[in-house]
Structure 1
Amino acid sequence: MTGLSLNRIWAVLTKEFIQLTRDRLTYAMILAMPLVQLLLFGYAINSDPHHLPTAVLVQDHGPMARSTLAALAGSGYFEITEEAATPAELDQALALGRVQFTITIPADFSRRVVRQDRPQILIEADAADPTATSGALAAAAGLPAEALKRDLVGPLARPGSGPPFEVVVHRRYNPEAISAYNIVPGLLGVILSLTLVMMTSLGVTREYERGTMESLLATPVRPLEVMIGKLAPYVLVGLVQTALILTLGRALFDVPVSGGWGALTLGVLLFIIGSLALGFLISTLARSQLQAMQMSFFYILPSILLSGFMFPFRGMPGWAQAIGTVIPVTHFLRVVRGALLKGLGIGELWPSLGALTVFVLAVSALAMARYRTTLD
């Protein structure tokens, strides 16, 4: 047994570097993955979101009410985007997710402040994601002591008499701020993405590597028939995973099920089919199972970080929210959480269901086009 040879080691090392530079996709992933992680964690992720959309119902337009709204906006957490005319409009804006908070100022607010009756204002929060609302509600707790300092001067001053009004907070859809109510429905989208996209891309790419796809290409089977035949078993896998997660979420974590079964079923089917079609598309682009796995992770990582699963969606900057809106997991999570926690139906969730439909059609068309190119 001879000793180590630096020349032989150098030869093998040179060969590996040459092979790495020839595999351009792998080389790009090596450079792109840390860059993407740095940008996402450094700029996009924020666990204490500010400027959250807020709808208000102002029944008193006196100076005290205006000062209170100005103090809310000045806190940096509340951004008034809608002004409702009725309580029903407030409920609808909160349920559909257009706003994170609703604020109601009663008709006699200013008069009761002057009379030292300590009136109440109501703040309702969409607490389906407790992390997104905790900072804003903590800031609202100090509002009564600070909001009217400039108004209650002179004859209206009352030192030592306590706050001039009270803030009543209602946490909707998750009143106890239990994180499992938000995490468990979100896990459904992440797990389906991890398993279905990766299983499909690796499975089809494996057939290319082993040569069995060449035998299939020699048959008169059409591309759409190949795609349907290969993906159909995984649809059942996805449905079994969905049933298992929802059942265990209810049994172990007591995740509420408010209804919305029609929207939930349609959303699950669209997302499963779209994820499988995406995996099939990746298999037509990858030349090895390693590349297929790398490309799958390149899709899954933003899906976890930018969809609102781990971090509040509205806490991200505008450019990150724009990217997150394109990711199908974002819309799937809105469907699942909206159906389970809020009881929303197809009519209320049609924007997200429509986005999932576009995702399925676009990815399926691209996969078919790529597969026909492979046939040629």
Structure 2
Amino acid sequence: MLSLTRTWAVMSKEFVQLTRDRLTYAMILLLPIVQLLLFGYAINDDPRHLPTAVLVQDNGAFSRSILTAMNNSGYFDISVQARSQHELDRALERGEVQFAVIIPADFTERVVRGDAAQVLVEADATDPSATSGAVAALASLPTQALTRDLTGPLAARRPGSAPFEVVVHRRYNPEAITAYNIVPGLLGVILSMTLVMMTSQGMARERERGTMESLLSTPVRPLEVMVGKLAPYVLVGMLQAAVILVMARVLFDVPMSGGWLALILGLMLFIIGSLALGFLISTVAKTQLQAMQMSFFYMLPSILLSGFMFPFRGMPEWAQAIGVTVPVTHLLRVVRGSLLKGVGLENAGPSLFALALFVLVVGTLAMLRYRTTLD
């Protein structure tokens, strides 16, 4: 028979356990809230107000009308006025803009004569989903942008036809192959999942098994403990990265455009930073379960806010601000920039600096959190 007294005793014991393991149950409550906020507010498959650079070689009224129409579409945000083709290329390679627009010097003359006028739009197509909506919006630009300018005889010259043509050039991934974007991005996600979890659970496992006392009884300093424990995993991480890159080339034919020095340096910084983060988590978590939960809590923004699954520029500004603090975001920029664009150290500099800063901050916190006692 069911005994209410015994059942109540078990329930009381569980409530007491809840108060003792506050970290675990706090995460159980926080995870659904964070997921709801991220999916509800931060995720957007149709990014708008994409940064755009323009090179206007024809300063006539037609050119101004075209730029105004692009701005009013809601997809383009003209943020860079380039003075040369080199500046446009550099802005695209560094990822500062998503689109580059070129209006040639003879544009007005060709429109007036009805002589196949063209506007060139170059898109950073490393992430096809980030540009598809904006490219589709360009289809209506030739028929709508100059409706107020072409009146009278100018409108009568080409009845029923568009006054100019928009030529779209998708750079770095002209065929819009999704694997070219997803497979390099998996490099950061896989390294995060394995390295952070392995390291965070390592010391937690030693604490549970009682082997931590032996380590703490030695004169080993915190820095020596961290370096000694993380060094083998650095080699594991580099081996994982090499395997993923080889498979990306052999199985998915992902282009390898160059930029190997920036790629290797970015991977090294990211691997060391991920291991240091795992070490930091292990100094906070008391059990392997807590270490795994805290690692998963870190992985959630790494996947959703880094630009791996959803366009980074499609997120609101507050979500982008959080995403910039996630190291996976900067590794993805280095990896995709190196493999698809062939960028070197100069163009990858901001992301490499962010990864180096992450290593410094997390490594320092890990050493400060490390205790020479088990209390």
- 2:216 touches 2:373 (CA, 8 Å); kept in 1? no
Match of 2:162 in 1: 163
Displacement, 1:21?
Answer: 2.4
- 2:216 touches 2:372 (CA, 8 Å); kept in 1? no
- 2:272 touches 2:359 (CA, 8 Å); kept in 1? yes
Distance of 1:26 and 1:160 partners within structure 2 = 70
- 1:284 touches 1:374 (CA, 8 Å); kept in 2? no
Distance of 1:88 and 1:356 partners within structure 2 = 27
Displacement, 1:118?
Answer: 2.5
Displacement, 1:231?
Answer: 1.1
Distance of 2:267 and 2:373 partners within structure 1 = 30
The two structures have a TM-score, normalised by structure 2, of 0.97
Change (3 A) 1:267 1:374: farther
Distance of 1:217 and 1:374 partners within structure 2 = 6
Match of 2:263 in 1: 264
SS at match of 1:177: coil
- 2:117 touches 2:165 (CA, 8 Å); kept in 1? yes
Structure 2 residue identity aligned to 1:161: G
Structure 2 residue identity aligned to 1:115: R
Structure 2 residue identity aligned to 1:12: V
More deviation, 344-353/148-157: 148-157
Distance of 1:206 and 1:15 partners within structure 2 = 26
Instruction: Flag structure 2 segments of 5+ consecutive residues without an equivalent.
Output: none
Match of 2:187 in 1: 188
Aligned pairs (5 A) from 1:350-365: 350-365=349-364
- CA deviations on 1:281-305 (whole Å, 9 max, x unpaired) are 0000011111111111111100000
Match of 2:49 in 1: 51
Distance of 1:80 and 1:108 partners within structure 2 = 22
Match of 1:371 in 2: 370
Displacement, 1:19?
Answer: 0.7
- CA deviations on 1:230-268 (whole Å, 9 max, x unpaired) are 111111111111011000000000000001110111111
The partner residue of 2:59 within 41, 58, 61 is 61
Match of 2:176 in 1: 177
Displacement, 1:330?
Answer: 0.6
Displacement, 1:319?
Answer: 0.6
SS at match of 1:227: helix
Match of 1:71 in 2: 69
Q: Root-mean-square deviation (CA), in Å?
A: 1.2
Identity of aligned residues (%): 73
Runs of 4+ in 1 over 2 A off after TM superposition: 3-7, 158-161, 372-376
Distance of 1:142 and 1:255 partners within structure 2 = 33
SS at match of 2:371: helix
Distance of 1:33 and 1:370 partners within structure 2 = 25
Match of 1:147 in 2: 145
- CA deviations on 1:285-344 (whole Å, 9 max, x unpaired) are 011111111111111100000001001111111111111111111111111111111111
Change (3 A) 1:374 1:257: farther
